[in-house]
Amino acid sequence: MRFIHIADMHLDSPFTVLSQKEEMGELRRLEQRKVFSKIIEYIKKEEIEYLIISGDLYEHEYIRESTIDYINNLFKTIPTTKIFISPGNHDPLLKNSYYNNYNWNDNVYIFNSQIQKYEFEEADIYGYGFEDFYCRDSKIEEIKIEDKNKINILVSHGSLNASNTLEMQYNPINENKIKKVGFDYIALGHIHKQMIKENIVYPGSTISFGFDELGEHGMLDVDLSKKTLNINFIKLDDKEFVEEEMDISTINSEEELIEKILEIKIDENKLYKIKLIGNKNIEINKNKILKIINKKNILKIKDCTQINFDIEKIIQENNLKSYFIKELNKLKQENNYTDEEINQAMEIGLNMLKN
């Protein structure tokens, strides 16, 4: 059997990072719709019989009925394609959700928190959907497959091998336990980066949402039998978040730094974070620099430079500067300040104490 596997579209997302730039958030939301349309056109062209959506199709807090209409109208254009949706932590099947209060097309199957199974000639498709923003035990690891001669697929949203308290709140799934159940394909969502562990598959988000999601994003075209699994990645997102490093060790003025940033060759299909590295000879005001350069594709500047002081040597000294550094390090440990915040405070303080 052949199917498309997507997850984490987050339609109507506010795009907080992009919204700092004029109209960028709205443009990104339009690109989301364009990507969704591409998926449906691909399904039409390839005559694909199944579409699996593993959660977070939309943002419950921000979704508009007009967007739901847009989604469902596209579903109507592929009436012979069976569409399976497992609501996730961003689009749970709440009493007031559109999953519960909207007249979806007949080809749409929405899973709830009672594990369901849909039977077809070639496959049985099991699924679980969030009915709240959190899920600590879906019991999908306890599923008993009824017909092991057929292709068996699990559709869900969750955290594979969750290792911290936060991720344990989003349907924690033990890899070894879920493998023992015997599914031929486990279609998951929640992680925005593509991850394939044998037959346990995260397609990643269809588009990138920020600089923690570098690389290409899209959907998976899956061809599955009882003996074979072939997965073809299809790129959908025309934009790509990239990180550019810039060594500023030889730069001695803010004007010189701005000139160097302006010399960067910009690809219009890429969104940039400029990561400043090396030894710092000047004070850096990131917001001011971003405003001056005023390039729509440069969204962020990150200061990862080292301050121009021999910190190890200063710590060994018995004076106000060494005491200041030790106190800052204590603050970092006790209050979870970032390296960037501590370095900035250290730079300002040591410059004041220089004389």
Cα dist. 67→29, 106, 159, 186, 239 in Å?
10, 18, 27, 28, 21
Question: Average of pLDDT values for 267-289?
Answer: 88
Q: pLDDT digits over 290-308, tens only?
A: 888 888 788 888 888 877 6
Stretch 273-282: mean pLDDT, rounded? 88
Do 99 and 143 have their domain in common? yes
pLDDT band for 149, please (50, 70, 90 cuts). Answer: very high
The whole-number average pLDDT for the span 187-192 is 96
Do 198 and 282 belong to one domain?
no
- For residue 173, give Cα distances in angstroms to 55, 109, 114: 15, 23, 17
Looking at the structure, tell me whether residues 274 and 147 fall in a common domain.
no
Of 85-89, 107-111, 173-177, 338-342, least confident by mean pLDDT is: 338-342
Range of the structural domain that residue 341 is part of: 240-353
107-132 mean pLDDT? 96
pLDDT of residue 293: 86
Question: Which position has the token pair 């002081």?
Answer: 309
DSSP assigned state of 267: P
**What angle, rounded to 10 degrees, do the helices at 24-46 and 65-76 form?**
20
Q: Which residue, chain included where needed, has tokens 């039998």?
A: 225
pLDDT tens sequence across 207-227? 988 888 888 899 999 999 999
| Together in a domain, 227 and 346 | no
Domain match, 160 and 282 both: no
Q: Are residues 213 and 84 in the same domain?
A: yes
The sign of the dihedral angle between the CA atoms of 67, 57, 13, 169 is: positive
Q: What is the pLDDT of residue 150?
A: 96
Mark whether 200 and 249 lie in a shared domain: no
My answer on whether 73 and 216 are in the same domain is yes
Higher pLDDT, 242 or 321: 242
